[in-house]
Amino acid sequence: MEKFQENTADLSVIKANLQNKNWLVACLCAAWCDTCGAYRQQFDLLQLQHPDKCFAWIDIEDQADLVDAVDIENFPTILIQHEENIIFFGTMLPDAGQVHRLLMSFEDGLKNQLEQGIKMHNPSLTQDVPATWNLRQLILNSD
C-alpha cells in the first residue's frame, strides 16, 4: 500500500487532518527564505514516517494571524505540540532527521509518563511563547 502525502501548506487540509490527530508538527518559515525553500521537501516527506501526526508548513507572512503572538526571528522554527501542550518551539537546523529523532524522543517520553500517570511538562522552548498562544486551536478555529 502506497503512503499518501498531505499538502502541508493548505490550511483547510491541515485543519481537517488536525481534527483526527493529537500531534501537530509545524514548520514556521517564510517564502523568501532560501533555507526554508531547500528544507521544504524534507519536511513534507517526514510526514510519511509519522502518519499519526499532523504536519503543517506555516508561512509567517501568508498566515500571520496564526503567529502574530510570537516572534519568529530565525528559520526554520519548529513547533511540536501534543494536544494542547507545546512540547518544543525553537529554531533548528534544516534537517528532517533531527526533527524525526526529536519526535521519537518526545513520543517515548510521553508514553513513559502516561504509563506512570505523570502529565508531560517542562517543554523545550528556545523562544518565548505566550501562555495563551496555542497554534493547534488557532488552526482549528480558522476560517
pLDDT above 90: residue 26: yes
Q: Considering only 10-14, 89-93, 115-119, which range has the smallest mean pLDDT?
A: 115-119
pLDDT at 132 (0 to 100): 85
The model carries a pTM of: 0.86
Q: Residue 4: is its pLDDT beyond 80?
A: no
Domains and CATH numbers, the chain: 11-140 (3.40.30.10)
CB neighbour list of residue 141: distance below 8 Å, 6 or more residues apart: none
Quickly state the pLDDT bin for 114 (edges 50, 70, 90). low
Q: Are strands 124-125 and 85-91 parallel, antiparallel or unpaired?
A: parallel
CA angle 84, 143, 3 (to 5 degrees): 65
The DSSP element (H or E) to which 11 belongs, if any, is helix 11-18
**H or E element at residue 98:** helix 96-115
Three-state DSSP class for residue 39: helix
Helices 96-115 + 34-46 axis angle, to 10: 50
How many residues belong to the chain?
Answer: 143
pLDDT at 131: 81
Please give the DSSP secondary-structure letter assigned to residue 115. H
Residue 109 pLDDT:
80
Contact 88, 48 (CB under 8 A): no
**What's the pLDDT tens digit per position in 33-75?**
999 999 999 999 999 999 999 999 999 999 999 999 998 989 9
- The answer to whether 56 and 26 are in contact (CB under 8 A) is yes
Cα–Cα distance, 129 to 140 (Å, whole number) = 19
Q: What's the pLDDT tens digit per position in 73-113?
A: 899 999 999 999 999 999 999 999 999 999 999 988 876 66
The predicted pLDDT at position 1 comes to: 37
**What's residue 2's pLDDT?**
44
Residue 117 predicted with pLDDT over 90: no
How many Å apart are CA 113 and CA 37, to the nearest integer?
36
